[in-house]
Copies of this chain bind each other. A is one copy, B any other.
Amino acid sequence: MRLESTLNGNTSANTSENARTHTFENPHPEPRTPTPRPGGRSARVRAEVVAATLAEVAEKGYDGLTVEAVATRSGVHKATLYRRWTGVDGLVADALTASADQSWPLPDTGDLREDLRRITREVFTVFTDPDLGATPTALILAAQRSDAGAAALRAFFTARHRQAAEVSERAVARGELPAGTDGAEVVRAATAPLYYRLFVTGEPLDAHTAERAADAAALAARAGLFTTAPPADPAPTANPAPTANPGPRKAS
């Protein structure tokens, strides 16, 4: 009985391996836990596959991404890709996980609104530039397609928001924001309108919109809307009125 071990960053990718193992009817189960071999060839294979996935996604978009093409480009056999990464979804999730380790500089202008403007301008610049934006766009779209991808995306953004919270922490220290401000929420408020257009509504995004989103977030933060205390207003009433829903509805 052959057991594939769990490799770094690929816990989800080995699910089908475990599942296959469990379906093998061995009347004498071997309780021994296999020792992972994450180094050498395995590490090289992963690096080659991640690189090939990113290249394929950048070139063909998420919809054109196939296991066959990644196999060809990476020189890794497709059986390995299916075994270790389950399929396209696992490849995307792993590529995203690999991208999450990138460090990135935070703006520090001494003014919160300007910091936020720089953040939103960068998001705008990257995602509206065909060359810069192809890979991240495709990765986000691809990641949404599966539980594994969505989990990797959540981890990615959660970490990014936590890091970017520093711009608000500095503003608090400067006395620009009230103590107890949730810095990650400030960054979310600033970037959400951009990602909303880019990835939900598909409406056009311009530099002015990016700037305005930052300004609105800064204004709200200064007004104390993002303090971790609950709002001063009473809780919603127990009888919500019929309201508008801008989302799609199930057809009757």
Contacts and interface: CB of A to CB of B under 8 A. Distances in A.
Contacts of A50: 251
A102 B146 CA distance: 29
Nearest to A247: B136
Interface in A137-185: 139-141, 144-146, 150-151, 153-154, 156-158, 160-161, 164, 185
Nearest to A157: B201
Given A216-B217, A217-B216, A220-B215, A246 B160 contact: yes
A118 B243 contact: yes
Contacts of A141: 144-145
- Number of identical protomers: 2
Nearest to A139: B248
A43 interface: no
B245 A104 contact: yes
Interface in A101-137: 102, 104-107, 109, 117-119, 121-123, 125-127, 135-136
A81 interface: no
